[in-house]
Structure 1
Amino acid sequence: MLPRRVLPHQVHMITRRCSERRFFLKPTKATKAIVLYALGVALKATSVEFYGHVVEANHYHAVVGDPKGELSAFMQRFDQLIGRALNAYYGRGESLWCPGSFSNVEIHDEETLIRELVYVYSNPVKDGLVARPELWPGLKTAPEDMGNLTLTAKKPETAFFGGKRPKNWIARGTLTPAEVRQAEAEQRQEAARARAEGHRVRAPRSKLPDEVCIEVKLPALAEDRETFVSRVRAALEREIEEIHAKRQADDKTQFMGAAAIRALDPFASAGSTYPKFKLNPRIASGNQDGERQHLLRELKAWRAAYKAALEEWRNGRRDVVFPPGTNRMAKLHRCVVGEVPLLL
Structure 2
Amino acid sequence: MSQPRAIIPGATYLLTRRVLRRHFLLRPDSAITRLVIYSLAVSAQRYGILVHAFCVMSTHIHLVATDTRGELPRFLQRFHRIVALGAKILRAWEGPIWDHEATSVVHLSTRDALVEKIAYTLANPAIAGLVEHAHEWPGAKVLVRELGCGTLRARRPEIYFNPKNPEWTEEATVPITLPPMIADSDAERFRREVTTQLDLHEKQARATLKRQGLSFLGPARASKISPYKRATTVEPIRGINPTFAVGRGRIDARNNAIAAMNAFRIAYRKSLEQWRTGARNTIFPIGTWWMRVFHGVSVHNGELAEA
Fold match by TM threshold 0.5:
yes
Query: Tell me, what secondary structure is at the counterpart of 2:209?
Result: helix
**1:279 paired residue number:** 240
Post-superposition offset of 1:107: 0.7
**2:15 paired residue number:** 14
Q: TM-score w.r.t. structure 1 length?
A: 0.81
Corresponding residue to 1:220 among 170, 180, 184: 180
Post-superposition offset of 1:275: 8.8
**2:297 paired residue number:** 335
Post-superposition offset of 1:122: 0.9
C-alpha separation between the residues in 1 aligned to 2:273 and 2:233? 38
What's the CA shift string for 1:178-205, capped at 9, x where partnerless? xxxxxxxxxxxxxxxxxxxxxxxxxx35
**2:4 paired residue number:** 3
**1:312 paired residue number:** 274
C-alpha separation between the residues in 2 aligned to 1:252 and 1:305? 53
Query: Tell me, what secondary structure is at the counterpart of 2:130?
Result: coil
Query: Tell me, what secondary structure is at the counterpart of 1:339?
Result: helix
Conserved? CA contact 1:152–1:211, under 8 Å = yes
* 1:125-144 equivalences in 2 (<5 Å): 125-144=126-145
Q: TM-score w.r.t. structure 2 length?
A: 0.90
C-alpha separation between the residues in 1 aligned to 2:166 and 2:82? 13
Question: Cα distance 1:22–1:302, how it changes in 2: closer, same or farther (>3 A)?
Answer: same
**2:37 paired residue number:** 36
Post-superposition offset of 1:217: 0.5
Matching residue's letter, 2:86: A
Conserved? CA contact 2:137–2:219, under 8 Å = yes
* 1:1-344 equivalences in 2 (<5 Å): 1-158=2-159, 160-162=160-162, 204-205=164-165, 207-223=167-183, 224-248=186-210, 250-271=211-232, 276-286=237-247, 287-288=249-250, 290-339=252-301
Question: Cα distance 1:274–1:55, how it changes in 2: closer, same or farther (>3 A)?
Answer: closer
Post-superposition offset of 1:336: 1.4
C-alpha separation between the residues in 2 aligned to 1:147 and 1:132? 21
Larger Rg: 1
C-alpha separation between the residues in 1 aligned to 2:209 and 2:168? 45
**RMSD of the TM alignment (CA)?**
2.2
C-alpha separation between the residues in 1 aligned to 2:136 and 2:255? 38
Unaligned runs of 5+ in 2: none
C-alpha separation between the residues in 2 aligned to 1:214 and 1:207? 15
Aligned length: 299
Post-superposition offset of 1:136: 0.7
C-alpha separation between the residues in 2 aligned to 1:155 and 1:272? 35
C-alpha separation between the residues in 2 aligned to 1:96 and 1:246? 31
Conserved? CA contact 1:21–1:273, under 8 Å = no
Query: Tell me, what secondary structure is at the counterpart of 1:331?
Result: helix
Q: Which moved more, 1:119-128 or 1:332-341?
A: 332-341
Matching residue's letter, 1:241: K
Post-superposition offset of 1:151: 2.9
Matching residue's letter, 2:298: V
